[in-house]
Each structure stands twice: as structure tokens, then as C-alpha cells.
Chains A and B, each alone.
Chain A
Amino acid sequence: MATAINNVVKIIYLNKNNASFYKTGDFIGMRFTNESGEQTDFGRVYLHRLFPYTELWTNISVMNKDSEEYGLIASIDDFDGESAELIKNELSIKYFIPKIKSILMLKEKFGFSSWKVNTDVGVVTFTVRDTYRSMIKIGESRIYVLDNDGNRYEIEDYNKLDKKSYKKIELYI
């Protein structure tokens, strides 16, 4: 069955042989050479992780501003030099999520909880509605906290938090 699908559906895989990324202003652009050797400059492109929770550097879709896909990067290892650097940089910007290092305060009142946390990019305070549902567990010990405004914060491994921080979130895990 899988072979049959393979024959009818074609995924365009991008690699250093058929695509190159370049800087356009503060963004990234892509040039693509098709099988017949014609080169197209797509201008600014947008990257999107297809498995954002489990795969960081594989299966990345490259699309235009209307989310129409130009092709797929199977692995970042298929690129090197400036292209690889630009892809990595663009993905880390797009998927920027502050990582919580310690929880300085967590108080629950009226169904909202107020947090003050120390992250890898500084101290921040935020409010969470329905704390239990807003803490999304990924895998064994990773947690995403979703605040009232839609911002995400990541606890990479709750077992590695200091005891005081852990105690504050223990009830919701």
C-alpha cells in the first residue's frame, strides 16, 4: 500500500543539491533548482516544523506566506554552510519558547494562577487560566505551560527542577 501511495504522491525533498537559502533583509529566502535544471528564486520563505514536539531538526516544511509548500527538508543534515546556519537560526527564532529554570512564585486564585519564573531569557510574570489544563505534558517529563495570552513556556524536565519549584507544580503534574 505504501508503495502505491509513493507512486502517486510526490514530496519534494529539499537538499543542498537542489536548494540554497540566503539572507534577504532580516529574513531568509530560497533558490530552488528543479529536476530539469531550471532555477527559481522564491524570495522570502517560511519554515515550519511538522513534528514540533518530537523532531527539532528533521521534517521541516518550507512554504510561502500563504502556507503553500515549496518542499520539505528531511533533515537539516542535508544542508551545510550558510544554508544550514540560516535554517537553524530561523527555526530557533520562530520556535522561541522561554525555558523555565525555576519557579519563584505560583499562586492560584479564582481559577487563575499567577506565576513568576526564572527563564533562560530572564525573569517573567504571567497568568494562567485553568492551570491543570494549561500544563501540557509531552513525553515523560517535559511540560509546556500555556499562559492567558497564548505565550508558551517550557519546563524541559520537571524532575530536574529544584525542590521548591517542583513542589509548586507537583499538584498539576
Chain B
Amino acid sequence: MKTNSSICDKAKSLLSEKGVRESDILSFAYIDLDDREIYCDGYLVLTKDKLVRIFGQEYKEYLVSDIDKIDIEELISCCRVWIETKGRGELLSYLSFSAKNDVFKVAHTFEKLKNNEEPDADFPEEAYCPKCGMRYADIERKFCPICMDRGKIVMRMSGFFLKYKFKMLMILIMLVLMSALAVIAPYISSGFYYDQVLSKDGSFYGMIVYVLSLIIALRVFRLLVNVVNDIVSTRISAQIVNDIKKTIFKAIERLSVSFFTSRSTGGLMNQVNSDSNRIYWFFVDGLPVIIINSVQFLTVFIIMMFINPLLTVLSLLMVPLVALLIGKLFRHSQKLHFRRYSKERSMNGLLSDLLTGIRVVKTFSREKNESKRFDKASSNLARESRRVSNFASTAFPMVNQLVYIGVIVVWGVGGFMIIDGSFGLTYGMLLTFIAYIGMIYDPLYAFVNMMQSASESFSAMSRLFEIMDALPEVKESPNPVRKSVFDGKVTFKDVKFSYVKNRRILDGISFDIEPGGAIGIVGHTGVGKSTIANLLMRLYDVEEGEILIDGVNIKDYAFEDLHRNIAIVSQETYLFCGTILENIKYACPEATQEQVMQAAKAAGAHDFIIKLPDAYETKVGFGYKELSGGEKQRVSIARALLRDPKILILDEATAAMDTQTERQIQDTLDKLAKTRTTITIAHRLSTLRNADYLIVIKDKKMPEFGTPAELIKKKGIYYTLYMLQLEALKNAGIAED
């Protein structure tokens, strides 16, 4: 959607008519929907004492002193911008999501103006393509798909292939050789054989064995070239695809967590797997095929003109028609393929869904219904596959018939020419000529055929650059502070954070934990407890305020030191495919078996592991032994403990365990906690019973902070939660400590 990076002349003159000088403008935003949600060209302009709204020639101004705040409310497919004046909300305008960033900037500048502060210099700016004026489809990369030049993409990508230049040159030479042999073959086996060997006037008259040997030798040579080409291609294809996959994976891996949360895992997997093949195809198959076919087309055309210009023109009469027809048929065939692909995708999705959820299907006795659903999806796929094959077996042979009409014409006219003795055409030449007609149509098929694949390759290359150019949101400081072992003092200073702009999740969180201290975080689901852990780990960066460890801002530490000293065990545990031992040693590969067992014992994992037939070498993960939620959590805790972190974050780490197991682990952790700072996030208050201090998070803020005893005395939020849980336990006949 178009948005303007500067105020248009009409609006400028309207502003100047109303006495607003350009130099007075502090911030402005283009707005694309008016107050009736109709597309328009409008602006919001902020000066130090006025907020102006313009829709076309309609002008309205508000005094900054009258406005309490500017708010941007996200609706389903647009935003509502309104101002609050003396406690009353007034609509300013609507705008599409495309225009919201600049309006956020105006609101931000307004807020700073009201507080007599300078607006942030690093507020993210929108960026526009200088060529077409459209907002970049991808701002970070400054990528405009309309103006992006395919040549530039190919050039940039070809840099990647430079290291294979010799091998690729070899393939190219062999392809040229094969093409040249293909062009020579009809000449020797048809024209030359009839005119020079079988004809009495021929220079090689009667030398049948000699010429046949030559033909056989040529065939064998062509076969050899073909075999060598296949061997080289297969070898370098595996190498290049592997290299591209590594490059894509490396590019993906360095990005921050936010990148992964905004993209589907399936999409990224597809990108690593399929895109590498698509890119490879273009450079190793596609591009050489274009070159070879172009050369073949031209060479054959020249030879044909050389043999007989009139017959050449006659035989080529059908080319435009055939090219047009092939193009049209190909588009249709592409559509059919696409439909088949989409049905295949639906069926595979359904199959994977059903097999993964087979327990649910069986528990609710839905087998018959699911069978019907699968039958339908499978029949749909069969129908589309039938259409594809029917089309392929009828449409293209019909085009061949059209080509054949050209051949018939050449047979006829050529025949008359031979009988007539005109144009010096011989029977052998005619045979050669007809063999060449087929060869001139081949490149046409090849070009049309590769159009779709080429376009897919360009998209794949573009996607690769998108990832390569994306900047990780969380960046390591260029000159990081190095500290191999932290003391463990954690300070949050007025921390503000939001995952999505304008939807703040933490607003002004401040607390201190001394080295070796234990702090518990309490609050309802979704209030941002885990966000505190994510921020401390620097999976995301704070928006405002700062987080310090041992008095140094965490942004200044090297990633390596930060992640070596902090370990997190979250509720959503993930075990990689491998043995339990490998999973525990994941973060500390150099650990001894004894250390692994100690960590597992501390985490309460040892007892269940020894019951497994393969004990520590039991394979877990997809397709192997399935551990229960509680068992997985214990392995994760062992993994974190083995690292011996100075700061340990337990984010609902024991939630999936029974109370007795949790208590056992808690006791061990408490003993270990003396030498490390521990942050525990939990719903079950009993989990937090040994915390020195508790933080209560509610409505983005931190309304309560203190020792458990202090908070109970305070009779606030924590007290209410505590009483509720105590009552629940009493009702169940279990007494709490």
C-alpha cells in the first residue's frame, strides 16, 4: 500500500494558508483512511502547539495543550486514531495497518512534547522505494519486489557459485559438446550418408563400413560425454545443494527468537530443503539449458538456411503458432499441476494430523468420520492427478501434430524441388533438413517448460537474501565486557517491554536480587512472568529501562558469557533426538558420566532413568521412547544444573510433576541455590515457599514486592492467591506448611 514519505504540495499549501510553517512541523504522518473509513490522502501534522488533521482540502486543528493523549487502537483490519481531551475520546481518523508506523511516531513525539522531553532519535522510520515510491515490502532489506532487478539477484547469487567455476565450466563445455554432436548427427546419418556414400557422385561412394564406423564412433563419443557429464553433475549438485543448505541454515540460526516466532517452522524447513534445490537447479540446469538451447536454435537455423532458405521459411511458418500454443497449454498445465499440488498438500496435512492425533480419534470413536474425510481428500487428489495426466497425454501430442504439418509441407515442397532439380536440393539434404525441423522446436519446449521453474528459483534466491540480509534484533555489543563467572547480582531498572508495538506487556518493573538470592515471580497466566526470564536471557531486548548483572548492562556482555552463566528450565521442555545422556550433556559436552549422574540425581531424574532398559543410553525424541511431561522436565533440570549456572531460572519447571517429586527436587535445588541466584516462576505457591522475596506481576506492573511473610501481612494480591490455594488444599484434605 502506498504511503508518502513527505507531505504533498496540496497539503503543504493548505498548511501554509492556515499559518503552519514547514519549519514548525515536529512530526507528521500520512493517513490513508478518513473518518468514514474511505481511502483518502490525508495527514496528521504535529507542531509544538497544534495537532492538525487534513483530509484532502478538509482542515481541522486541535491545541496540544487541550489533548491529554493520542491513542492508536488496532481493529481487525485497520487502526482507529483518537485523542483524549478532558477525559473524552474523540475520533481523529482511521488508517490501514500500512500507515500506522508514522502515526505511532507522531504519538510518540506528542508524548515526549507533553513531558518536555526530546523524542527518541532511533524511533524506527518507514522506508520507501526511491524508484516507485511504494513502501518496501521488507523494510530491513529495503526490498521492493516491483523494482528489484532479476539480473542483480542472479549476479549476487552467482557470486556464491564462483568457487565451483571450473566444475561448472566443465559441465557447460560438455553440454556444448553434446549439443554440437546432436547437431552433427543428423547431417552424417542422413544427408552425408545418402549424398556422399550411396550416391555415385559422392566423395565417399561405397565406403559404407568406413562411414558407419564414423557414425558409431560419434554415438559412442556422445554416450561417453553424456556419462561424464552425469557423473560430474551429480557430484557437484550434491556438493552445491549441501553448501546452499548450510548457508541458509547459518543465516537462519544467527537470527533472534522474534524472527522464529513470526514464521512457521514448516515454512523455514521448506526453505532449507526445497529452496536450495531450486537455486541449484537454476545455475546448474536452468541457465546452461537456456544457453545451449539458444545456441542450438541459432546453429540449426543457420544450417537450415544454408541448405535451403525457402524450405527454412516454410518450415518455420508454424513456429509462432506453435510457440503461442505451447505457451497457452503450458499455463493451463501449470494450473492443473498447482491444483494437484494443493490437493496433495491438503491430503498430506490431513494424514499427518490424523496420525499424530490418533489417540484422540480413537478415544472419541471418530474413526469412521475421519476415514470419510481421508477418502474425500484422497479422491480429490486422484481426480486432479487424472486431469494432469489426461492433459499431458492429449494436449502436447496435438501440438506435435501441428509441427508435423510443417514437416509434411517441407516433404511436399522438397519432393517437388528434387524431382524438378531446382535449388540444387538432394534427397539426402531433404532428410537432413527434416531431422533439423524437430531440433528447432525442441528449444521452444525447453524455454516454456523452464519458465515456471525459473520463476520459482528467483523466489527462492530472493527468500535466501531476505534471510541473509535480516538483522538479528538482539545484537551482541561490538566490544563486549568479558566476565567468565558472574557473581549473580540481578537488577531490573524500570523495565518496559512489548512484543507487539502499542501492546505493552511489562511497564516499569524494578527489583534487585543479591548474589545467591532466591526470588519467586507470581501472577496470572499471560501477565508476562516468562517475559522477565526471556529478557534476562536476552532472547529479546528491553524497550525502555535496563537490566544489569553485577552492575553491568546485559547488553554489554558477550553472548557466550551471558548464556554460560544463566540457565533456564521452562515448562515447555524440548528434548532433542538422541540419548538421555546426550540430552543432559547438550549444554556441557565435556562433562563426565559421573557429573551427568550427579546432575540427574539432583534433578530427580536418576531414579526413573535407571528403571529404563537402556538407562542413560535410552533413545528419546521423535520416533523413540516417549517420556512423560514430568520426566522430560527432570531431564531438562539436569541439563541446566550440569552447566552449573550462576543464575538459574525455573519457569514452571516442576509444574508437570507430582507434589512429592517436586518437593524432593526443590529440597535439592535449595541446597544448590546457596551458591547461585535463583528465579522461580510458578503458579503453585508451594513451589515458591523457599524464595527470599516474591514479586507479584499484575496488569503489566509490579504491585507487590517483599518476603512471603510480608506479603501475607499486606493482605493484597499474593495473600488472596495464597488463601485460595490453601483453601483448595484444605478442601482436598491436604494441609500446607
Seen from chain A, the residues whose Cβ lies within 8 Å of a Cβ on chain B are 24-27, 44, 52, 66, 93-98, 107-112, 114, 119, 121-127, 129-130, 132, 147-153, 170-171
Contact = CB atoms under 8 A, between A and B. Distances in A.
Contacts of A150: 77, 97
A96 B75 contact: yes
B335 A171 contact: yes
A95 B38 CA distance: 14
A25 B86 CA distance: 11
Contact of A149 (B39, B40, B97, B455): B97
A111 B39 contact: no
Contacts of B408: none
Contacts of A124: 1, 39
B90 interface: yes
Interface in B602-637: none
A127 B134 contact: yes
A96 B37 contact: yes
A127 to B, nearest CB: 5
A24 B134 contact: no
A11 to B, nearest CB: 21
Given A25-B89, A111-B462, A149-B1, A94 B38 contact: no
Interface string B321-347: 000000000000011001000100000
Interface residues of B, number: 39
B91 interface: yes
B145 interface: yes
Contact of B2 (A112, A121, A125): A125
Given A26-B89, A96-B94, A152 B137 contact: no
Contact of A112 (B33, B37, B145, B153): B145
A122 B38 contact: yes
Given A96-B75, A122-B40, A149-B98, 12 more contacts: A94-B76, A95-B75, A96-B77, A97-B77, A110-B461, A111-B459, A111-B463, A112-B145, A121-B38, A124-B1, A125-B134, A148-B137
A124 to B, nearest CB: 6
Contacts of B690: none
B145 A149 contact: no
B74 to A, nearest CB: 9
A94 B75 contact: yes
B459 A93 contact: no
Specify the main secondary structure of chain B where it touches its partner.
mixed
A114 B133 CA distance: 14
Contact of A121 (B39, B88, B267, B338): B39
B346 to A, nearest CB: 11
B17 to A, nearest CB: 26
A110 B96 contact: no
Nearest to B91: A26
Interface string B54-96: 0000000000000000000001111010100000111100101
B723 interface: no
A151 B88 contact: no
A129 B138 CA distance: 10
Contacts, number: 101
A126 B89 CA distance: 31
B146 interface: yes
A126 B39 contact: no
Interface of B: 1-2, 33, 37-40, 75-78, 80, 82, 88-91, 94, 96-98, 134, 137, 145-146, 148, 153, 267, 334-335, 338, 342, 455, 458-459, 461-463, 699
A148 B136 CA distance: 10
Given A26-B91, A94-B75, A125 B153 contact: no
Contact of A93 (B37, B38, B137, B455): B37
Contacts of A132: 342
A103 to B, nearest CB: 15
Contacts of B338: 171
A151 B90 contact: no
A114 B148 CA distance: 13
A129 B137 contact: yes
Given A97-B76, A123-B39, A114 B145 contact: yes
A-B pairs with lowest CB-CB distance, top 3:
A122-B39, A110-B462, A26-B91
Given A110-B458, A110-B462, A149 B148 contact: no
A171 B455 CA distance: 15
23 contacts: A25-B88, A25-B90, A26-B82, A52-B76, A94-B76, A96-B78, A98-B39, A109-B146, A109-B458, A110-B145, A111-B459, A112-B145, A119-B39, A122-B38, A122-B39, A125-B134, A126-B1, A127-B134, A127-B145, A149-B97, A151-B98, A170-B335, A171-B338
Nearest to B1: A126
Given A114-B146, A151-B97, A125 B458 contact: no
A26 B35 CA distance: 11
Contacts of A108: 455
Nearest to A52: B76
Given A96-B78, A123-B39, A171-B338, A151 B145 contact: no
Contacts of A148: 137
A121 B76 contact: no
Nearest to B35: A26
A97 B137 CA distance: 21
A122 B39 CA distance: 6
B451 to A, nearest CB: 12
A121 B153 CA distance: 37
A93 B93 CA distance: 12
A25 B71 CA distance: 14
Contact of B89 (A44, A52, A122): A44
Given A110-B148, A121-B39, A127 B94 contact: no
A150 B338 CA distance: 25
Given A125-B134, A126-B98, A152 B76 contact: yes
Nearest to A150: B97
Contacts of A98: 39, 77
Contact of B75 (A26, A27, A93): A93
